Structure 1
Amino acid sequence: MKALFQGFFIPYINQSSGTNCYYFVMADKPYIMNASSFNAKILIVDDIPKNIQVAANILKQENYNITFAKSGVQALEKIEKIDFDLILLDVMMPEMDGFEVCRRVKANEATKGIPVIFLTAKTESESIVKGFEVGGIDYITKPFNGIELLARVRNHISLRTTQKELEKANATKDRMFSIIGHDLRGPIGNIKSIFSLLTDNQKSFDPKQFQTFLSLGRESAESTFALLENLLNWARTQRNQINFNPKKVDIYRLTLEMISLVSLQASNKDIELINEVEPHAIVFADDEMIKTIIRNLLTNAIKFTNDGGKITISGTSEGDYFQMAVRDTGMGMSEETVVQLRENDGYTTSGTAGEKGSGLGLYLFKKFVKMHSGEFDIQSIPEQGSIFSFTIPQHL
């Protein structure tokens, strides 16, 4: 148990929610604290070191990550670098007071959502009102009351967590609607047009023309299905609903299956698909995730390879690991673009034939490799081609 002045913590599990919590007992009164709020990042800003020390000693008992600043300028520098969950901000400071610091925080699109609690020795209504006017969410008077400080901080951390979850949910919803409205509408419209043309004019087409339109319809249907599958997988990852079910997988067979799935897309650009995966190679992995990875890497390579090019997929055992790579002879990328692909999710651009993308394939590639405790790499040379590779443990 951790001592806090005259209080102590008693850990327990909330049976209704299954979350880890603590009873904080002080003066024979219990206070419930949710462990999920622990490790929140809090910035304490005060020009008097003793005030920082007192507040930090109270808050560190809940395992918050505490950072401090002794001036408004120093505080703004730290806020630019760290995504804080809460700011405890002294009002009376030299050079730049707390009100001005708060104004600048709220004027910045990237930081305006961070809650600010003012620390003040003043209790005059004018000072309190001014704090709210510049964007403060609460205030605490000095000297600190330990229970009050913990309770107010805990409440605002909880609200900030809820706010972040809502923002993430809204961003997920907006992106999903954007993909549905833009990326799915095009291929579905193509399918509708092709089959309307075939239905209304079937007698005017010779067998070769008829087969050509059927192939186009099939290609559009397959690409739409792949995009929809990516969209559903991506949505599940956003809600942490993807299950990892590893088992023995014949990765050579999976590769053949995925090559067959994209063969029509490749043939339409006269691209040769070469399979150099070790025959009968067995790995312990989630077969659906591996299928998604291979399909997306092949589809991406086809998208960025010019007509008449080559795409080679290889897979070899290297000790306790299995490495796969998809190499194309496509348009390649600059080093700057490669860095963006490695570090960011959702990056997309048009292919050699104007093919559109959603960026979900790259996100799922990196996400699923990570879920296998593996690593990925991207290499490219402009006008020569690219290599997307990943390595996963052969035995989990």
Structure 2
Amino acid sequence: MSGLKKVGFLVNPIAGMGGAVGLKGTDGLAEEAVARGAVPVSPRRAEIALEDLSGVDALFLTAGGDMGEWALRKSGLRYKVVYKSLDQSTAEDTRKASSSFIEEGADLIVFCGGDGTARDVSEVAGSQVPIIGIPAGVKMHSGVFAISPQAAGELVRGYLEGDLHFRETEIVDVDQELYRSGTLETKIYGIAVTPYRPVLVQERKQIYSSRDEEVFKEEIAVFASEFMRDGSAYILGAGTTTAKIAELLGAEKTLLGVDVLKSGRIICSDASEKDLLRTIDEAGAAKIIVSPIGAQGFVLGRGSQQISPEVIRRANPENLIIVATPHKLKETPRLLVDTGDPEIDEMIAGRRQVICGYRIAQLKDVEASSKVGTD
């Protein structure tokens, strides 16, 4: 077995649980997320990443139970448990499991989680062992994440078959307390090495700020204030562009949350998925306004998981409105959707108008991230 490739495989079981319930993250809030009705999302996304790896010649090193063992057991891949946590897993367990992988000679570490998990894995792996992230967190700003679980599986296979290049990329995370209070402040925590195929790996999130940006946000907001007079409830996703719309209407939006406006006033602030579903039922008609994440291009599936597949289905995918400044569109090579529901993703995918000024729009292709580069 000396020539056999070894892949460390780790799942953060609580990653992403805080998204749909409006917690903007799960680190330190797992119990509250469960109390609000959150359900695990990372185990299934880990399983999806493994589904297309049947027949690969590798030994997967993993942690016990829901930290990786159970997903690998379902996959039928060859694996070995090299670490077991004593209780509900923590960040320390992620670091210890990663250390165990390296001690056992891992050539690659694959983890399922968000930026917090990426920080913990990279803290141990450094630049000596490449890492790949299966996206499952509420926020994913780091450049080690594949654009979908399917893409992560493709990257693992490509690595094992020796046909991928590597690149260094930044591990980025936000200040959790500031983030939950509505302030986005990111920090670079380290540099990692990751197998790279441009179409399969996301870029690090970019924030654009200039005088021209503000002018175009104002124009978008003025146009939105006109078409929002139709009596519908409008679900506004996170971000500065949607916040500008609310500001122009005289409403104070939660910058990093999801809010609902109707007739110029907020009827639901910092909403969870349940709040949005209830509001749609009460309002009778709802539309959704979102702006893609800079450089990454995700329209849905990152940072605003409260706008869930069921929320989109109730509102109708045809009532999805995308807004973005011209500069953001120019610097964002593709628009992606990753709601976790392939059917909804396919309904959203296709040629769509993106409002980028006052009565000005560009036609852009929106792609289901699970389909990109995996055909």
TM-score, normalization by structure 2: 0.24
Between Structure 1 and Structure 2, whose CA radius of gyration is higher?
Answer: 1
Q: Which protein, 1 or 2, shows the higher relative CO under an 8 Å CA cutoff with sep ≥ 6?
A: 2
Which structure's residues are more often helix, by fraction?
Answer: 1
